[in-house]
Amino acid sequence: MRGILYGSDATDAMVARGADIMAASSVRSFAAFYPALGAHDKAQALAELGTVPVEILVGEADKLTPVKHSGRLAEAIPTAHLQIVPGCGHMLPQERPDLVTAAIRRLLPTP
């Protein structure tokens, strides 16, 4: 699981917590959800996102949604800010929660 989901900077505690999360999910739910991933193509809708701020974060070692996919999104969305995070994999919110939180905060309107 470490090699598929996490980057080189992940701690043993992060990987163990991810394993707990996966263990709590059924194989049936993964199998039922998988075909929807292949059918989910919203490329035509990306232009609409160009009217609002967009944050794209990706771990440089993400094997499930690779950097090249994030790059394509950034190219298709003129307002996108792409951040490639060294040492991280697919579990970026777990590996770098402060960075993800900061990106979300940048999208919120200031009071």
Strand partners, 95: none
Contact 41, 62 (CB under 8 A): no
pLDDT in tens, 26-38: 888 878 888 887 7
39 or 94: which leads in pLDDT: 94
Overall pTM surpassing 0.85 (yes/no): no
